[in-house]
Amino acid sequence: MLFVLSAPSGAGKTTVAERLLKLCSGLKRVVTATTRPRREGEAHGVDYLFMSKQDFEEKIEKEYFLEYALVYGNYYGTPREQVLKNEEHGLDSLLVIDIQGARKVKASYKDSVLLFLMPPSLEELRRRLLGRGYGQENLEERLKKAEEEIACAKYFDYIVVNDFIDKTVEALQIIILAQRLRREQFLKKSTLKDRDILKLLEEGSCRTFEV
């Protein structure tokens, strides 16, 4: 399955994703490619796949990306091959991407699950962005963008308010487990060892619902 986690800048999606990946087995993050400069402490292939603008645009032409977008002057994109590799290994993929990317993924993968991480308030979001050291002009630009993105939350499958991180991560774990137990996914990836029960689920006749 494809789980897509999106949020306005400063809402805490990277921190939440890191916690979720440690606690949720069978879930692997797809590392986003970007043309933005590498920040101190970031590692290539771990935090992002850092590329030049020329390299990124060449890969766009080769349809290397599942989705891509231009955000604050830099490209961001999801490498298609990572998603396919996860599928081959029976793993669910976690994409931590922006709203534009989430829309494109949903258009291509109808069964993808869109998760929106909501800040508890605009004032709290402002406080978090100030804590990151953004200047006033950049801060106001990001807050305006956040308002537009929050308005898009109604098109997501789930909305989780990131007030207390432990509760946020727990809620996302519950959502992922529930999605894995949906009928289609259960039959596709069932760990049931009893072949008789599996045969009944797949081929048996249910008079109650089939009348």
CATH code for the domain in which residue 99 is found: 3.40.50.300
Q: How confident is the model at residue 189, as a pLDDT?
A: 65
Q: Is 127 inside any structural domain?
A: yes
Is 184 among the domain residues? yes
CA distance 28 to 176: 12
Query: Which uninterrupted H or E stretch holds 141?
Result: helix 136-151
190 domain-assigned: yes
Give the Cα separation of 78 and 91 in Å (integer).
Answer: 16
DSSP 193: -
pTM of the model: 0.85
Q: Which domain holds residue 176?
A: 2-31+90-210
Q: Does some domain include residue 117?
A: yes
Domain tally, the chain:
1
- Measured between alpha carbons, how far is 19 from 170 in angstroms, rounded to an integer? 10
Helix (H) or strand (E) holding 86: helix 80-88
Which helix (H) or strand (E) covers residue 76, if one does?
strand 74-79
Task: Give which of 83, 73, 82, 81 is closest to 35, Cα–Cα.
Answer: 73
pLDDT tens profile 20-79:
999 999 999 999 999 999 988 889 988 899 999 999 999 999 999 999 988 888 999 999
Residue 191 has pLDDT above 70, yes or no: no
Report yes or no on 163 lying in a domain. Answer: yes
Look at residue 45 and tell me if it is in a domain: no
Residue 129 located in a structural domain: yes
Is residue 80 in a domain?
A: no
Q: How many CA atoms lie within 13 A of 130 on its CB side?
A: 7
